[in-house]
Structure 1
Amino acid sequence: MKRPFNLFLVLAVMIGFGQQTTSINHAQDVTITIEKGKKESKAKSKAPFTGKRPAVDVAILLDTSNSMDGLIDQAKSQLWNIVQEFAKAKKNGRTPELRVSVFEYGNSGLPAREGYIRQVIQLTDDLDKVSEALFALRTGGGDEYCGAVINEAIKRLDWSGQANAYKAIFIAGNEPFTQGSVDYKSACRNAIESGIVVNTIHCGDYQRGVQGKWKDGADMAEGEYMNINQDEKVVHIQCPQDKIIIELNSQLNETYLWYGSKNERTRYAENQVAQDLNASSLGGLSSRAATKAGSLYRNVGRDLVDTFEEDEEAILQLKADDLPEELRKLTPTERLKKVAAISKLRAEIKAKLATVSKERQAYLAAERAKMTETPAAATLGDAFAEAVEEQLVESGFDLSDE
């Protein structure tokens, strides 16, 4: 019987070219800045994360060496399908708080002294930020040290301290799991002793991955071993519902009341639209919109409506300068009334989106059933789907429909 674990999606993202700086903010207001060619600044020691909702923490570690362009493309195009794998999960009737982290490893553009490893983004519930990080990835040849990047993910992230939380690392790559000075066996033992399951995804032949110890690593950390074709193109089928979904998505965006400094408000709004465009460029906007209509796309601490639904008193504590312009001159009572009205409108739009998205899924299923070609090879999204359902159930989550 596998022991319970929390699901932390650590996205291990490899970014190789250019002088880039990545700043990561998460729920505990700790910022880590990682600059190419320089050592990572020391972060404050992280206390275990605690939240109001059941914890699902996912850490994805992506090999971004030269041969992995296809893997990164799959991660970009399938992010919102992957998120939807968790959308039905509930514990004691409560939707979980999904946080995702991204690491890259194996990229020669990263400092050798740091093991060609970069934490791209700390565990965060800001899924737009995760998408932004994935679309910034670049590949470059290097050495892939699986044991080392697993250890870094364990140490650097503020994994949930909740009992029976779901915490998981998903690591994908194509070179032997044994490379580097950090023993993969030690790293995988460290993970499961911390309640973190390790799922391994070998990009290539199944048996070659077994020989390269990818299966052994998963077995040691009570995870799943899977193999995929990282160069398999993700096929997107146009559906008659897509136009309606795109229109409803635009309406949904209008209901967001971003707060914080002026720069923060602008950044949140612009990034939401930018990630819509990124998803659209790969044929995935309908999947993203379906995710936004669900309960996992939440912006508590950034958007007044989501924050209001979590704790309406919290928005009364905000400074006027941190509010959207249209709310600054309102009394506290008027402010709550305004946010409540927009919350109701958002719920109506989400309900329409959910209905049309289900119709789209039915259409997709029928179209795929007509296809007589040889079944497509497994992709990154397929690997997630294979692993998470059983693992969530073992951590005490229900997977009934929303």
Structure 2
Amino acid sequence: MDSAGKSGEMTATGSAPVSVRPQYLRTAGVPAVVIALGVFAAVRLAGAVVLAGAALWAGRSPVRVLGHSWDSVWYLAIARHGYGRTQMWPVTGLVQSDYAFFPLYPLLVRLTGGGEWGALFVSWTAAAVAAVGVYRVGELVAGRRVGVLLVALWSVVPHAVVLTLAYTEPLLVALAAWSLYALLRERWTVAALLASVAGLTRPTGIAVAAAVSVTALHALLTRRSRGAAVWAAGVLAPAGWLAYVAAVGVHRRDPAGYFDVQRQWGSRFDGGGYVLNQVWRVLSGGPVALATAVTAALLGAALLLAVLLLVRRPALPLPLLVYTAVLLVIGIGGAGYFESKPRFLLPAFPLLLPLAAVMARARPRSAVVVTAGLAGLSYAYGVYLLVIAKMPL
């Protein structure tokens, strides 16, 4: 690691303690965290400008495209009117209930007034907090330079346009990254509280709770950490997710009511059979949309990066492995909404650590060129999804 030094004693998470003194890049004397946040803000602001320009060119309102597209419509409706909306599609047999959407983001939007600008404010603020959290995790496990490059790569992945929309992914990543950071620092109570709140953002928020609970269990079994705080963290972490699932079950008078809502939306867990079928459609050469082909390629890349994480030396800390693995299992093992799979994996930022490590060994100019090139592709793909193809995200 090129950050602060290690001590000989290992933490409960299996990683060595790292100094939290301010870190500076040698080139400018600017805190690396400020550089990471600046890179993220510049990349995503430019992306928002490109998307707004494309929307105007297509005769659409930029605010509507950014703040009122696809799932954003549901979130805004919940923020303004509460739960209770159901939309039926006789042709497909889908019955879409707004109980599929977790409550934290609509609640925050409601506190800002319930409009598109309020929703964007919540998302953009969360995205900035997430970027700092992603940097801190990357810095802790691999050093300052890798941390900055991890943020840069996360901001230019093909579906990074979601980070500028009124969607829940920025909020989930903000809570997840800081929960993981607290967990790596053995701040059990903070990690568990953030994990519990993360469980109120999206179904995949359970990945954060899994990271905390599994790490707590590991610490107890290996006797690296003891005490009530570890036990409490393991129990508290999934509380938010379980509370919402239970609330939907009570409302529908069915303990499995939430999962029935998801099934009626066309989402269910089939172990990856649906995804394999869609990938085979692409590989067999049949006619598919560009987004379908890109999704197949991105899922393949995600699995390759997962393998690289597993063979990484030194090994990645347990919390990051559990968090990433759960996101992959949910994202790839779930049926339905194939083209949305890369968005579901957007919170899996640890997958980018192998690429960030490679870029950290390259010349700074090369890292800048690669980031700029990927940003251009990300902007173009975002415009394609939202303005040209109008594909669901």
Structure-1-length-normalised TM-score: 0.30
- Larger relative strand fraction: 1
